[in-house]
Chains A and B, each alone.
Chain A
């Protein structure tokens, strides 16, 4: 399966539209995250060389994360369901590792995460997931409301 297919990219070209909706917000945050992942790839290569052996799997994994994030940013603008799902999984991974780091920081250093990692690894992923799960955004991707959203609707 091609990488473009994996994140729900369409193979036929369609002129990109300027998206200023909530999905446009998600795209912007994903682009910044993608840029950070590209930066992490550069760091992994430099650190691998400096530490005496290129940690090839780590470089590959980080580069893969960067490519997936950037392709997914493009996919969500095209309202690809697969891209939406990929983004939610990617953000889940970011949150999982942030949670491990938070626990380690609390256990070993008796403190939490600093300002920047709190924003980039906790706040931004939660914002992206929450935005993509909003009822009106789900509708844009051709998805119905979640069970919880239906229950809330019935109650109101």
Chain B
């Protein structure tokens, strides 16, 4: 049963690729050339080896220089050349700008330090300098709002691995070794944090159509526009019906009687779900919202809204109010098994906390905020506004 539906908006299947998500979890089109040049490097290495077998002098010299390196330094050479190749690809994938100049400089510098290493010339100081410059430059651009993507993070992991080798002191010593290890770990953490900051800054648009969402949120494709009169009327009707229907749940005890799991309400975004209303065939039914949302207020839990859910993954929710009622799904959600609970989002480095699995995509959902005077009735609730509302409750 579907309430408040509009023709052509319901039961439409939606593929994962159709959603707009955070670039943190995919390779942006401008960076695809970087993947190609990385693959070309591997093909080139194979070609060189073949040439060396055939006795071509230049190929033989290059392969001999590579083979004269220790296993660890061979890994370093590969890491430097891979990063150089990817940077060269990024030049090809972007229009001319300061960034392309930086990518080009990076590609050349990384290639030159790899050559120094393979030619047996002093390389350590230059390698540290070039890699630190590249990693810090990336962190700064991320924090400034340039969204990191899978290829960017991969390149930084390659460079962090190379830097871990380059940081190793040439002379043994306990303090030097400890400092090198600590420095390498600190840079991994800083790069990860910069990645998170970049992804959230770039995704500050919230839940509006046509904007880049924050990590973990998937929006359907489309552009933001003014609602039609019919869409506005539909959204208003749905909103009023929902507010009236759930008013009784201001008291969590009443919600518990109706089957909502209100045990242990904590925080300002507690979703109390009703297992009986999930997958029940009722969509957008104000009498049966799948979740109630509570915030802990000055005198106890405050009902702040509801969350409607679709029954199945890959089915678009009915946007009855057009751009006013934009559904969203979640991706890369970490779910802990010890004990079962949400534990965050997949990190820029592809991991969830230990003992957690990754839920790749959820069914669609939409929030409706029932508090009086709320700035936006559907979608995102401004944190600052909620703080002010709860503070006002405390004073009254």
Which residues of A are at the interface with B, using a C-beta cutoff of 8 A?
13, 15-22, 24-25, 28-29, 31-32, 34-44, 46-48, 50-53, 55, 57-59, 61-62, 64-65, 70, 97, 100-101, 104-105, 108-111, 113-121
Q: Which residue of chain B has its CB nearest to the CB of A118?
A: B350
Which residues of B are at the interface with A, using a C-beta cutoff of 8 A?
15-16, 25-27, 35, 70-73, 75, 150-151, 153-154, 157, 160-161, 164-165, 168-174, 177, 181, 184-185, 187-189, 192-193, 196, 264, 266-270, 313, 331, 334, 336, 338-339, 341-361
B267 touching A51, Cβ below 8 Å = yes
Q: Which residue of chain A has its CB nearest to the CB of B165?
A: A28
Cα–Cα, bound, A116→B350 (Å): 6
B341 touching A52, Cβ below 8 Å = no
B172 touching A61, Cβ below 8 Å = no
Chain A residues contacting B348 (CB-CB under 8 Å) are 116
Within 8 Å by CB of B172, from A18, A28, A52, A119, lies: A18
Cα–Cα, bound, A43→B352 (Å): 9
Within 8 Å by CB of A109, from B165, B174, B193, B361, lies: B361
Within 8 Å by CB of B270, from A21, A52, A62, lies: A52
A20 touching B70, Cβ below 8 Å = yes
Within 8 Å by CB of B185, from A24, A31, A50, A58, lies: A31
A20 touching B189, Cβ below 8 Å = no
Within 8 Å by CB of A119, from B26, B334, B350, lies: B350
Cα–Cα, bound, A20→B185 (Å): 19
Cα–Cα, bound, A118→B26 (Å): 12
A100 to chain B, nearest CB (A): 5
Chain B residues contacting A13 (CB-CB under 8 Å) are 174
B205 to chain A, nearest CB (A): 19
A58 touching B164, Cβ below 8 Å = no
Within 8 Å by CB of B150, from A37, A44, A50, A114, lies: A114
B351 touching A121, Cβ below 8 Å = yes
A110 touching B16, Cβ below 8 Å = yes
A15 touching B361, Cβ below 8 Å = no
A35 touching B153, Cβ below 8 Å = no
Q: Given A32-B164, A35-B185, A36-B192, are A116 and B343 neighbors across the interface (CB < 8 Å)?
A: no
Chain A residues contacting B72 (CB-CB under 8 Å) are 19-21, 24-25, 28
Q: Which residue of chain B has its CB nearest to the CB of A59?
A: B353
A47 to chain B, nearest CB (A): 3
Cα–Cα, bound, A16→B338 (Å): 37
Chain A residues contacting B160 (CB-CB under 8 Å) are 32, 35
Q: Which residue of chain A has its CB nearest to the CB of B75?
A: A25
B191 to chain A, nearest CB (A): 8
B27 touching A47, Cβ below 8 Å = no
B188 touching A35, Cβ below 8 Å = yes
B357 touching A100, Cβ below 8 Å = yes
Cα–Cα, bound, A94→B192 (Å): 19
Cα–Cα, bound, A58→B351 (Å): 13
Cα–Cα, bound, A74→B26 (Å): 34
Residue among A29, A57, A114 with most chain B CB within 10 A:
A114
Cα–Cα, bound, A42→B186 (Å): 12
A121 touching B350, Cβ below 8 Å = yes
